[in-house]
Amino acid sequence: MLKAAVLGATGNVGQIFVQLLEGHPWFEVTTVAASERSTGRTYGEASRWRQTTAIPEAVAPMDVVDISPKAVKDVDIIFSALPSDVAGKMEEDFAAAGYVIVSNASAHRMDPDVPMLNPEINCSHISLIEEQRRNRKWEGAIVTNPNCSTTVLTLPLKPIYDMFGIKSVVVSTMQAISGAGYPGVASLDIIDNVIPYIGGEEPKMESETQKILGTASKPADFKVSSSCHRVPTIDGHLEAVFVETKKYADPAAVAEAMENWVGEPQELKLPSAPEKPVVVTSENNRPQTRLDRMEGKGMSTVVGRIRRDSVFDGVKFIALGHNTIRGAAGCGILNAEYLKVKKFI
Amino acid sequence: MLKAAVLGATGNVGQIFVQLLEGHPWFEVTTVAASERSTGRTYGEASRWRQTTAIPEAVAPMDVVDISPKAVKDVDIIFSALPSDVAGKMEEDFAAAGYVIVSNASAHRMDPDVPMLNPEINCSHISLIEEQRRNRKWEGAIVTNPNCSTTVLTLPLKPIYDMFGIKSVVVSTMQAISGAGYPGVASLDIIDNVIPYIGGEEPKMESETQKILGTASKPADFKVSSSCHRVPTIDGHLEAVFVETKKYADPAAVAEAMENWVGEPQELKLPSAPEKPVVVTSENNRPQTRLDRMEGKGMSTVVGRIRRDSVFDGVKFIALGHNTIRGAAGCGILNAEYLKVKKFI
Amino acid sequence: MLKAAVLGATGNVGQIFVQLLEGHPWFEVTTVAASERSTGRTYGEASRWRQTTAIPEAVAPMDVVDISPKAVKDVDIIFSALPSDVAGKMEEDFAAAGYVIVSNASAHRMDPDVPMLNPEINCSHISLIEEQRRNRKWEGAIVTNPNCSTTVLTLPLKPIYDMFGIKSVVVSTMQAISGAGYPGVASLDIIDNVIPYIGGEEPKMESETQKILGTASKPADFKVSSSCHRVPTIDGHLEAVFVETKKYADPAAVAEAMENWVGEPQELKLPSAPEKPVVVTSENNRPQTRLDRMEGKGMSTVVGRIRRDSVFDGVKFIALGHNTIRGAAGCGILNAEYLKVKKFI
Amino acid sequence: MLKAAVLGATGNVGQIFVQLLEGHPWFEVTTVAASERSTGRTYGEASRWRQTTAIPEAVAPMDVVDISPKAVKDVDIIFSALPSDVAGKMEEDFAAAGYVIVSNASAHRMDPDVPMLNPEINCSHISLIEEQRRNRKWEGAIVTNPNCSTTVLTLPLKPIYDMFGIKSVVVSTMQAISGAGYPGVASLDIIDNVIPYIGGEEPKMESETQKILGTASKPADFKVSSSCHRVPTIDGHLEAVFVETKKYADPAAVAEAMENWVGEPQELKLPSAPEKPVVVTSENNRPQTRLDRMEGKGMSTVVGRIRRDSVFDGVKFIALGHNTIRGAAGCGILNAEYLKVKKFI
């Protein structure tokens, strides 16, 4: 078993890392690190565990340690659920100390020498690690996963991109409250309400999508426009996607391309890889956030209502994915699995 | 005072008609008609009143009558909140019997000789009544208001259309449950959920928008693509709108065009006309469904986050309107006020 | 494997029966029966499956059959999720035809010769089957489980009853929408709302609690007063319970009594028996509906905030249980397991 | 017009004070005070106004000042919406400086020489002001209103207490999120959830109820036991109340007593006094939080389902009141109106 540390372990995404790693065949949480508010207490006390499954028995009694290479020692892999404002510097410190960090934070995602992996799509970007090590003169590495809403969007875009080409993408999101962490969104702000703004989300969706669907050295050249909204759902980001394609895209052919598509994680049978990265539903009122977010244990994106678009020469459809699993901790763990198989860990 | 009948008076939109007409300066509800389930009881008993204001005292004791010209007699104007599947024939019967019907039903909206008025935009379409009377050989008239989501969309589109021209519109809606009537959406289907489908809504938004922004005889020629979704809000349809314009549209200029725009209802100072059909908010996280839906007593559309679009040469923005007031009963009453001033009643 | 039929299989509780029986070690669903609306179609088509796990692959293609002993043949056990208004006669027909029916319907619960089992508490009431067979002259049997809110209440009452005695119980419920079935509660009736009335629920809670905690022949003699309310939660009934005891009841002693209590299902290690029928939490803001309803796979009641009461000489506490698992289908399956071990099947 | 200051004006209850005082016939907000975070900005900027009506135009441009007698000068009455942890000392400073403070904070409610008024019930307690001035050697005065849940409970208890006598009260609350202020309850904590704990609420309900229904010098001697819960509603506290009476209480007689009961505020026709302090509804599924919370402009308590209780010799019923209006700012304003008429201002 490889020893794993979780940074920011008491926050919402940190808890999902701890939850998903329970019983993992390759990784075992041996260290939990968090900010000063939490250190000196056990994880059970400090985390105020808020998940619907019980706190893992092995982790609950662990002492929460500082977020520093000195305090977090003797681990093989580090999962970072740090807030982006502190992640930038802290993750660099760990990489400089020789650690491989798989990060959910946005701080380094757009760095040209940092892979941002949605692994079925672009695990080849892992080659950037060598460049990163040269540039930064460290022996560790930082690997990131995309923003939650980007993760959900890019999975169904990839088979379209490969088969039909993409000229432009317009997307409106209906995002769950768990995406804002805890305490996150005030209940007075979201019950019987929609908030049509999520700070920083639209630029992220636009630039990250281009980076993921591009090559390691060059972003994809199609345009993306997004409008991001928070709705009163617990988990699961639902997105209305309009795609202008280069070649004529018949909805049935798009559905078939999505259903048949698998990536390297599926071929390698990585433990967290869902059987299908994209599941296509044919019922006219699906996917629905509450009913479909756990498809593929929360690691698949579910697509429905694929239809021709009346503005674009292309298609429109609905995509749904679990924001804290596929869109955060689950994607990070899948990335770590890939790194292990590729002997970076 | 003109005497008014409400058809389908016990349903949700019917109740909103009754609610909004309480204390109206020109119209007085003197007849309430509904299906067989309700006739023979008082309105108070039959309606199971579910609004947040008390049932109007004058209407509560009225006997509910049949939906037929024979039972509904001696009124000057008829407001129809009938379900669309029965409205088609019934409304024709009333028009044939000489009544002027202001209808919220979709049955006749797209008939070429029936005005579908969002009155600030296209009250000139009222001229179709003459054609309708010639074609149909009746002395009454049917005038409709658009679908709720179309009403909200078209108000802010109009000043853009006039000043910058429109090539295409992409819109994603986040619609409230009250739009589905009562009992409507099952709670098990919508709490902690988004339903990405509303039967018939997308085609309506696309064709109705073109009819309203066109001339009486010819729809506007821009393209519209919509994706419609139900979210867990009580009232208020929020829409993410992306517009490709013919001329360069600066967001500040678009905001100014919207704010300054008024229509004939404002000039005529009709009782239900809001001061501004479109209210522009500058806060980056507004409009919000719960906080802003009652703007202009529920008769204004609130627009925010006007920004340049990265796919289209144009702008994107958020629009919010109250679906059962501006998008249904309130728009019908405003139409009736206009008909009265124009001496059709 | 014993063959099982589910009556009313397309409704919400029927679906939970089908869901929970997937992979059951003893029972296998071989027949699904429902009303005329559904017959002639496959279960996959007719059920409009609405659970968060996928429809069991073995059941989806089955033809839905009539609810009659003629159509439902060749099964070893029948699970009834019938609506109470039709269950009375139909279940009798099946019993007369020799079947053992485990029913969630209220129709026969209060019949003196029908066991109503919350099995950790009163599985000895199974002895009533003999009386039932004598009285009714049939070879089959009807065994029921209690109302969902009663099930949640009675589990923590039992150890109090045994150790301290009970004089009276006052209980207020906060019940989930799934308890009303599908479509059940209209969303307009429950979002941002509490409905302080559930038809028939209060009398059921009062009489069923006495029957379950009594002997097979005589109800318990303490008094119960309930007030039942629907709140906007998906699953899980939370109850505020005030208990007047015969002997002095120290909260710590009550907690200990609850935690240590197990029933015959635990001793027999029945497949659906939770490790603990009652789980006591010491955090001051637990149990919470969303976080704790799946405790013991939805088969445990979680109790918290046990404290002395200032009106009664006794204690007050919070109890939470999963209404469609422990409070319906899960309890029925546990009853069937008990019947099998006792050779009634 | 009397000049009024609002302390803690930017918080949720502070905003409700500002909202309700707009257009008040006697009081005019001339000063808004808040903590350091807000001072130096206008009220419009600092308050991040979150109400469903527009921010009062006269107040929006006012500069927010410090919460000190020096900064808040030249006003006739002070409304305090301060958090309880700072209210204790600050309110004393204002009273010492000669001001009359009407406070929503809990800090001084249980002080024996401070009136806690739910004015229809106990405005005679105003006599405590003289004792307070003697004890504390100040010219000002502190007058409080009860906790929101207590306010709702005590209104319907009063006519029962007067006509039938009360031996004990058991009450379970279903309280709205706005009671926790802003940001208050995290949305992840309350959507699809019930939180069975509100810090400090149960002791307050128990002691405050006794103080209000007692004389100025002696609390009422009946016992109260409460269980307090937060549910996902925006505004409105709904309470299930069980009352043991001294004399036999017939539900119809209780309803009549409640309906006929008025207090001094009604007799004096105070501007904020509702026509009826308690409105009784006869429909079996009312009051409902969303539909009935605005009864009497949010100043009435609505009572329904009055029925005999099976545990107590007494009645049980449902009570609903608006927590931030009747239960906070509205009650404070009604108290101020009473103080003015009684010449304390």
C67-91: buried (b, 16+ CB within 10 Å) or exposed (e) per residue?
A: bebeebeebbbbbbbbeeeebeebb
Structure tokens at D123: 């405005």
Q: Which residues of chain D have pLDDT under 70?
A: none
Burial pattern D99-128, b for ≥16 Cβ within 10 A else e, equals: bbbbbbbbbbbebebbbbbbbbbbbebbeb
Q: Best mutation site among D188, D192, D289 for testing chain A: the one with the most A CBs within 10 Å?
A: D188
| φ, ψ at D186 (rounded to 5°) | -65, 140
* Residue in A with minimal Cα distance to B284: A197
For residue A153, which residues of chain B lie inside 8 Å, CB to CB? none
Q: Which two tokens stand for residue A281?
A: 């539903």
Mean pLDDT (whole number) for B125-139: 98
**Measured distance CA(B326)–CA(B155) in Å, rounded:** 10
**Residues B233 and C188: beta-carbon distance below 8 Å:** no
Q: How many helices (H) and strands (E) does chain D have?
A: 11, 12
Closest C-alpha to C332, from C45, C80, C37, C82:
C80
- Contacts with A284 from chain B: Cβ below 8 Å: 197
- Kindly list the distances between the CA atom of residue B253 and the CA atoms of A49, A225, B24, B222, C232, in Å, as whole numbers in the listed order: 50, 21, 37, 21, 44
Residues A194, A231: contact at Cβ < 8 Å? yes
pLDDT at residue number A137: 98
Closest chain A residue to D176, measured at CA: A188
Closest chain D residue to A186, measured at CA: D186
Query: What confidence category does residue C261 fall into, taking pLDDT thresholds of 50, 70 and 90?
Result: very high
Q: For chain C, what is the largest distance between any 2 Cα atoms, rounded to a whole number of angstroms? A: 60
Question: Is residue B257 classed exposed, middle or buried when 0-12, 13-18 and 19+ CB atoms within 10 A define those classes?
Answer: buried
Q: How many helices (H) and strands (E) does chain C have?
A: 11, 12
Q: How many CB pairs under 8 A join B and C?
A: 62
Architecture of domain B2-147+329-341: 3-Layer(aba) Sandwich (3.40)
Residue D95 confidence (pLDDT):
98
Residues A24 and A6: their CA atoms lie apart, in Å, by 14
Interface of C with B (CB under 8 A): 12, 50, 177-178, 182-192, 232-234
Verify whether the Cβ–Cβ distance C188 to B232 is below 8 Å. Answer: no
| A2-146+329-341 placed in CATH 3.40.50.720 | yes
The secondary structure element, H or E, covering residue C156 is helix C148-164
Residue of D nearest to B283 (CA): D48
Instruction: Name the amino acid, one letter, at B85.
Output: D
In this predicted model, what pLDDT tens digit does every residue of B13-33 receive, in sequence order?
Answer: 999 999 999 999 999 999 999
Catalytic pick from A108, A123, A125, A148? A148
Give Cα separations from C51 to B23, C14, C16, C232, C271 (angstroms).
48, 11, 8, 18, 22
| CA D213 – CA D223 distance, rounded (Å) | 12
- B24 given a catalytic annotation: no
Rounded Cα distance, D278 and C96, in Å: 55
**Counting beta carbons within 10 angstroms of the beta carbon of residue D33, is it exposed (0 to 12), middle (13 to 18) or buried (19 or more)?**
buried
Averaged pLDDT, C306-322? 97
Cross-strand partners of A42: A63
Q: Which chain D residues are Cβ-neighbours of A186 within 8 angstroms?
A: 182-187
3-class DSSP state of C46: helix
Q: Could you give the residue numbers annotated as active site of D?
A: 148, 237
pLDDT at D6: 98
Residue B147 and residue B150: Cα distance in Å, rounded?
5
Cis peptide before C287 (omega within 30 of 0): yes
Q: Which of B224, B240, B242 sits opposite A310 (nearest CB)?
A: B224
DSSP output for B50-72: -SSSPPPTTTTTSBEE-SSTTTS
Nearest to A5 by CA among A133, A145, A103: A103
C2-7, strands of its sheet edge to edge: C64-65, C27-33, C2-7, C77-80, C100-103, C141-144
- The token pair that represents C32 in the structure block: 């699904």
Chain C positions touching A234 (Cβ under 8 A) are: 290
Nearest CA to CA, how far is A276 from chain B (Å)? Answer: 22
Contact D294 B53 (CB under 8 A): yes
Cis upstream peptide for D83 (omega within 30°): no
| Mean pLDDT rounded to a whole number for chain B | 97
Interface partners of A (3+ CB pairs, < 8 Å)? B, C, D
Which residues of chain C form CATH 3.30.360.10?
148-322
- Percent of chain B surpassing pLDDT 90: 100
The shortest CB-CB distance from B178 to any of C50, C178, C188 is to: C188
pLDDT for res A66: 96
pLDDT of residue A246: 98
Q: Which of D51, D53, D291 sits opposite B52 (nearest CB)?
A: D291
8 Å CB contact between D302 and D292: yes
CB–CB contact B187 C187 (8 Å): yes
Contacts of D287 in chain B (CB under 8 A): none
Please report the pLDDT score of residue C79 as a whole number. Answer: 98
- Residue B306: what are its φ and ψ, rounded to 5°? -70, 120
- Residue A289 · residue B193 · CB < 8 Å: yes
Give the pLDDT band of residue A73 (cuts 50, 70, 90). confident
Neighbours of B22 (CB within 10 A): 15
Query: CB–CB of B192/B232 below 8 Å?
Result: yes
Question: A280 vs chain C: nearest CA distance in angstroms?
Answer: 14
A288 and B195: CB-CB below 8 Å? yes
Q: State the Rg of chain B over Cα.
A: 19
**CB-CB under 8 Å, A234 with D191:** yes
Find chains touching chain D: ≥3 CB pairs under 8 Å. Answer: A, B, C
Task: Name the catalytic one among A108, A125, A237, A322.
Answer: A237
Q: Could you read off the pLDDT of B76-85 as tens digits, one per residue?
A: 999 999 999 9
The residue in chain D having the minimum alpha-carbon distance to the alpha carbon of residue A192 is D234
Do residues A225 and B310 make contact, with C-beta atoms less than 8 angstroms apart?
yes
> Where on the phi/psi map is residue C35: left (φ > 0), alpha (ψ -120 to 50), or beta?
beta
**Angle at CA of residue D273, ends D108 and D326, nearest 5°:** 50
Touching subunits for chain B (3+ Cβ pairs under 8 A): A, C, D
**β-pair type (C27-33, C2-7):** parallel
CA–CA dist B172, A156 (Å, integer): 19
Nearest to B196 among A229, A305, A312 (CB): A305
All residues of chain A having their beta carbon less than 8 Å from the beta carbon of residue B240 are 172, 196, 227, 229
Question: What is the reported pLDDT for B100?
Answer: 98
> Phi then psi for D293, rounded to 5 degrees?
-70, -20
- A247 pLDDT band, cuts 50/70/90, is very high
Q: Does D294 contact B192 at a Cβ distance shorter than 8 Å?
A: no
Q: By C-alpha distance, which of B260, B226, B230, B256 is closest to B243?
A: B226
What is the CATH number that goes with domain C148-322?
3.30.360.10
- pTM, two decimal places: 0.97
Q: Nearest C-alpha of chain D: how many angstroms from A251?
A: 36
Reported ipTM? 0.96
Annotated active-site positions of C, please?
A: 148, 237
Contacts of B291 in chain D (CB under 8 A): 50-52
CA distance D83 to C28: 60
- Pick from A307, A289, A114: which is nearest to A216 by CA? A114
pLDDT at residue C73, rounded to an integer: 83
Neighboring chain D residues of A233 at a CB cutoff of 8 Å: 191
Terminal-to-terminal C-alpha distance of chain B: 12
Residues of D with CB under 8 A from a CB of A: 12, 50, 177-178, 182-192, 232-234
- List, in order, residues 6 or more apart from B45 with CB less than 8 Å away: none
Q: Quick one: what percent of chain B has pLDDT higher than 70?
A: 100
- Token pair in block for residue B251: 């967001």
**Mode of pairing for the β-strands spanning A166-175 and A237-245:** antiparallel
Give, as one character, the DSSP assignment of residue B5.
E
- Identify the DSSP state of B313: S
Residue type, A331: C
Residue B73 has pLDDT above 90, yes or no: no
Give the tens place of pLDDT for each residue, A267-318. 999 999 999 999 999 999 999 999 999 999 999 999 999 999 999 999 999 9
Is the CB of residue C173 less than 8 Å from the CB of residue C227?
yes
Distance from CA of D195 to the nearest CA of C (A): 5
- Alpha-carbon distance of D246 to D221, in angstroms, equals 12
Residue B65 to chain A, least CA–CA distance (Å) = 35
For Cα atoms B328, B333, B335, give the angle at the middle one, nearest 5 degrees: 95
Interval C158-192: pLDDT, tens? 999 999 999 999 999 999 999 999 999 999 999 99
Please list every residue in chain C whose beta carbon sits closer than 8 Å to the beta carbon of residue D172. Answer: 172, 227, 240
**DSSP code of residue C326:** I
Is the CB of D185 less than 8 angstroms away from the CB of A184? no
Written as one letter, the residue type at C10 is: T
Name the percent of chain C lying above pLDDT 70.
100
The burial of D137, by beta-carbon neighbours within 10 Å (0-12 exposed, 13-18 middle, 19 or more buried), is given as exposed
Task: Give the up-direction half-sphere exposure of residue C24: CA atoms within 13 A in the CB hemisphere.
Answer: 26
The shortest CB-CB distance from B52 to any of D50, D191, D294 is to D294
